[in-house]
């Protein structure tokens, strides 16, 4: 199943997970398009100043892969700068937060895989 | 867990799945770093002329997300051009193949999620 970039559905979340500003979510494939236990597969775009607040992942793993821009991630061990090609894996009850402290949009690919029963 | 781009492990596969040339695989997180049922999470780089041969995904889904360059994908319904921001989801016994027919490297993010028992 091919999903052209222009055919993605998009939504904007304000104060995502208690963060600042708005985050655009461009879905590649939604949960009901997967056979596997995947509930998010999307590009997330954080304009300058935007953030996703701290949140926990229980019984699921989320990977962020930074595709453009730069920002600060905190996975519980302090803020660390991330930029293109860096990745963050969070799961098993861990928390994370990310914010764009730069002047360019921060784009990342996010995939959430839930654990089986 | 943060994986900086420079700290990724990399491998080169010749004639991957029976394809042409070589494909570089830069792993973000390997199977044993996930709690979820994920066996590949990597950037794949196909130089001009390279391809990944046709192969089937049984009891797992694979998503390709094109991050740069352009190529031709065939998921069983004929070749279709894909470029940055396009995505392909293949699973449940389906097959796919991809080749770089352009002059620039073709890069994509690949994630394979296995089905539960």
Interface ipTM? 0.95
Residue A20 located in a structural domain: yes
Residues of B in contact with A78 (CB under 8 A): none
Residue B3 located in a structural domain: no
Residue B46 located in a structural domain: yes
pLDDT at B60: 97
In chain B, which stretches have pLDDT less than 50? none
**What is the distance in angstroms between the Cα of A20 and the nearest Cα belonging to chain B?**
23
Chain-centre distance of CA B12, in angstroms? 13
Distance CA B99, CA B2 (A): 31
pLDDT at A58: 97
Residue A75's domain is classified under what CATH number? Answer: 2.60.120.10
Predicted confidence (pLDDT) at residue A116 exceeds the cutoff of 90: no
Q: Please, what's the b/e burial string for A31-45 (b: 16 or more CB within 10 A of its CB; e: otherwise)?
A: eebbbbbbebbbbbb
- The residue of B30, B41, B57, B63 whose CB has the most chain A CBs within 10 angstroms, and thus the best one to mutate to test that interface, is B63
CA pseudo-torsion sign B111, B94, A33, A37: negative
pLDDT at B117: 62
Give the total number of structural domains in chain A: 1
Residue B1 located in a structural domain: no
Predicted confidence (pLDDT) at residue A117 exceeds the cutoff of 70: no
Range A29-34 average pLDDT: 98
Domain span including residue A20: 10-114
CB contact under 8 A, B111 and A111: yes
pLDDT at B65: 98
Give B21's DSSP letter: S
pTM here? Answer: 0.96
Residue A14 located in a structural domain: yes
Residue B83 located in a structural domain: yes
Nearest to A60 by CA among A111, A97, A14, A9: A111
Residue A4 located in a structural domain: no
Of B36, B109, B115, the CB nearest to A60: B36
């Amino acid at each position: 199943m091919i999903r052209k970039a222009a055919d993605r559905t998009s939504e904007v979340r304000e104060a995502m997970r208690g963060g600042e500003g708005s985050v655009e979510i461009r879905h590649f494939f939604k949960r009901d398009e997967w056979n596997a236990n995947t509930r998010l597969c999307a590009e997330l775009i954080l304009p300058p100043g935007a953030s996703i607040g701290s949140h926990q992942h229980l019984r699921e793993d989320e990977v962020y892969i930074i595709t453009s821009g730069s920002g600060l991630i905190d996975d519980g061990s302090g803020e660390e700068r991330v930029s293109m090609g860096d990745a963050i894996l969070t799961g098993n009850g861990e928390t994370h937060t990310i914010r764009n402290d730069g002047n360019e949009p921060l784009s990342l690919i996010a995939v959430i895989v839930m654990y089986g029963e």
